C-alpha cells in the first residue's frame, strides 16, 4: 500500500500536478487499489486533519497580515527600514533583509513576505540601480524568515504533529534563528555589494523625518510584542493571539494610520479566505497522505531501521538534514512537516535530541526548500511579481544557497541558538 502511494504521488508530480492534488489523489489511489479500507476513510482523515483548535490560528494570522498590508503598514515599515542605510554600499539590500524580518513578525508566511514588502523592495532596488535578478534572489532568500520569526504558521502545524513541543515554545525558539538568518544574508549582501559596487542613491533623511518615520513604524512593530508577550504572560493562547492580532491590525489601519477603509474590507477578507483555503487544502491532503503511512506502520519501520544502524546524534542530524534538503526540493514545508515529523521526531527524542532544537532544524530546513528548484515556490513568486525569468534569478542564488548550508550547520550543531531563549523565558 505504501509503495502504491509513493508511485502514484511521484508520477503525479512528474507530470506536473500541483502538490495538493498529488497528495490527495495518491492517498485515494492507494486505498482504492489495495482495497484494505473503505475509500471514505480518506475523506474522514482529511476532515480530521482540519478539526483542531490550534489550526484556527492560521486564517486569523493570514487575515492580520492582509489587514496590515491593506492598512498601508507595509509601506510604513519599508520607509522605516530603508532610512537607516541611505547611501551605504548595499544599503537597500540590508533594508530588504531588515524589512523581511519585521514583516515576518506580522505574516508568518514566506510567500506573503515575498509578494508584499518583497515586491516593493525589488522595485526600490531596481530604481537605485541594483541588478533585478539579484534583487529578486535576495528577496526570495530573505523571505524564508517569514515562517521562522514568530508568529509562524509552520510552527503551529509542527506543534500539532509533535506533542512534546508547544506553539509558544516554538515561537520563542524561532527568534534567534530568524535573526541569525538575517545577519548571514546581510553578510552575503555586504560581500556582493562591495564586489560589484552597488550603492544606494537616496540620502539619509533629516533628523525630523527620520524620527517621524520611526514613530509611525512603532505601532506596526508592536504587533509581535503583543503576540509573544501575551502568550508568554499567559494572557492568551497562540490561537487567541491570532484573533488579537486581527483586531490590533484593524485598529491600527483604521484609527492610527487611517488608511484602511471599510470599503476595502470585503476584498481583504476575500483574499485572506483564498489564501487560508489554499493552506487548509494542503493540510487536509497531507493528513490523508500521512495517514496511509501511519496505518501501514511506516514510522515504526523507519524508526526500527534507523535504531538498528546505531547512529550517533551528530550523524543522525546530518542525515536528517540531507534528507530534508532533498525532500524540500520537491515539497512545500507544510505537507513536509505533516508527513515527516511523525516519523522523525520520535527517533530524535529517543536519541536525546532536544525536541525544540530538532523542531527548529526541521522547520528551517524545509523552509529553505522554498528557494531550491524544481518546486521553489518563492522563486516563482518573485519571478511573477518582478517579471524576471527564473533562470536569471537562479544565476544569483549560489551565494545564498551556500549561506543556507552555513545556517543549517550552526542551527544543527549549536542547539543553544534554538533552545536558550525558550529556557531563559521559562517556556
pLDDT values of the chain reduced to their tens digit, one per residue, 427 residues: 888 888 888 888 888 788 788 888 998 988 888 788 888 888 898 888 788 787 888 888 888 878 877 766 777 877 787 777 766 778 888 888 888 888 776 766 777 777 777 777 888 888 778 888 999 999 999 989 988 988 888 898 899 888 899 888 999 999 999 999 999 999 999 998 888 777 666 666 778 888 888 888 888 778 778 887 887 777 888 888 888 888 988 888 888 888 888 888 899 899 888 888 888 888 888 888 888 888 887 777 777 777 777 788 899 999 899 888 888 887 788 888 888 888 889 889 888 899 999 999 999 999 998 888 777 778 888 888 788 888 899 999 999 999 999 999 999 999 999 999 999 877 6
| Distant-in-sequence, close-in-space partners of 379: CB < 8 Å, separation ≥ 6 | 140, 370, 371, 373, 390, 393, 394
What confidence score (pLDDT) does residue 80 get?
80
What confidence score (pLDDT) does residue 199 get?
67
- Domain holding 60, by residue range, is 1-425
From CA 412, how far away is CA 159, in angstroms rounded? 19
From CA 111, how far away is CA 46, in angstroms rounded? 24
Where do the H-state alpha helices sit in 73-147? 73-82, 91-107, 110-113, 119-127, 132-142
What confidence score (pLDDT) does residue 359 get?
95
Q: Using CA of residue 325, residue 330, residue 333, residue 336, what is the dihedral sign?
A: negative
What confidence score (pLDDT) does residue 64 get?
84
What confidence score (pLDDT) does residue 261 get?
86
What confidence score (pLDDT) does residue 178 get?
92
The tally of domains found in the chain comes to 1
| C-alpha cell, 380 | 516563482
Contact 297, 341 (CB under 8 A): no
- Other CB atoms within a 10 A radius of the CB of residue 258 amount to 11
- Quick one: which H or E segment has residue 1? none
What confidence score (pLDDT) does residue 141 get?
92
Amino acid at each position: 500500500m505504501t509503495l502504491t502511494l509513493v508511485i502514484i504521488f511521484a508520477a503525479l508530480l512528474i507530470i506536473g500536478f500541483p502538490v495538493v492534488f498529488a497528495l490527495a489523489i495518491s492517498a485515494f489511489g492507494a486505498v482504492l487499489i489495495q482495497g484494505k479500507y473503505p475509500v471514505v476513510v480518506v475523506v474522514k482523515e482529511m476532515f480530521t486533519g482540519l478539526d483542531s483548535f490550534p489550526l484556527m490560528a492560521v486564517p486569523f494570522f493570514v487575515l492580520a497580515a492582509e489587514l496590515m498590508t491593506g492598512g498601508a503598514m507595509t509601506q510604513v515599515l519599508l520607509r522605516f527600514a530603508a532610512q537607516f542605510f541611505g547611501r551605504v554600499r548595499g544599503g537597500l539590500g540590508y533594508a530588504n533583509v531588515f524589512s523581511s524580518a519585521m514583516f515576518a513578525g506580522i505574516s508568518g508566511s514566506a510567500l506573503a513576505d515575498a509578494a508584499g514588502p518583497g515586491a516593493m523592495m525589488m522595485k526600490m532596488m531596481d530604481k537605485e540601480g541594483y541588478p533585478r535578478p539579484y534583487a529578486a534572489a535576495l528577496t526570495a532568500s530573505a523571505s524564508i524568515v517569514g515562517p521562522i520569526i514568530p508568529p509562524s504558521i509552520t510552527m503551529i502545524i509542527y506543534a500539532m504533529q509533535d506533542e512534546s513541543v508547544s506553539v509558544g515554545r516554538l515561537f520563542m525558539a524561532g527568534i534567534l534563528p530568524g535573526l541569525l538568518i538575517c545577519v548571514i544574508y546581510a553578510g552575503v549582501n555586504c560581500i556582493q555589494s562591495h564586489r560589484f559596487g552597488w550603492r544606494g542613491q537616496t540620502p539619509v533623511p533629516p533628523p525630523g523625518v527620520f524620527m517621524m518615520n520611526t514613530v509611525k513604524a512603532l505601532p506596526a512593530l508592536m504587533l509581535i510584542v503583543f503576540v509573544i508577550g501575551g502568550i508568554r504572560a499567559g494572557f492568551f493562547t497562540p490561537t487567541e493571539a491570532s484573533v488579537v492580532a486581527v483586531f490590533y491590525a484593524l485598529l491600527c489601519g483604521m484609527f492610527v494610520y487611517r488608511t484602511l477603509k471599510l470599503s476595502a474590507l470585503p476584498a481583504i477578507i476575500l483574499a485572506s479566505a483564498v489564501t487560508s483555503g489554499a493552506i487548509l487544502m494542503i493540510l487536509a491532503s497531507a493528513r490523508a497522505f500521512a495517514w496511509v503511512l501511519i496505518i501501514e506502520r511506516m514510522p515504526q519501520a523507519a524508526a526500527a531501521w534507523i535504531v538498528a544502524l546505531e547512529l550517533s546524534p551528530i550523524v543522525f542530524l546530518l542525515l536528517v538534514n540531507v534528507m530534508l534538503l532533498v525532500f524540500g526540493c520537491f515539497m512545500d514545508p507544510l505537507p513536509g512537516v505533516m508527513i515527516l515529523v511523525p516519523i522523525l521526531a520520535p527517533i530524535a527524542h529517543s536519541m536525546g535530541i532536544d525536541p525544540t532544537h530538532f523542531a527548529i532544524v526541521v522547520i528551517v530546513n524545509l523552509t529553505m526548500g522554498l528557494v531550491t528548484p524544481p518546486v521553489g515556490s518563492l522563486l516563482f513568486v518573485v519571478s511573477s511579481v518582478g517579471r524576471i525569468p527564473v533562470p536569471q534569478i537562479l544565476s544569483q542564488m549560489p551565494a545564498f544557497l551556500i549561506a543556507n548550508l552555513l545556517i543549517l550547520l550552526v542551527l544543527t550543531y549549536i542547539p543553544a541558538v534554538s533552545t536558550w531563549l525558550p529556557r531563559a523565558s521559562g517556556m
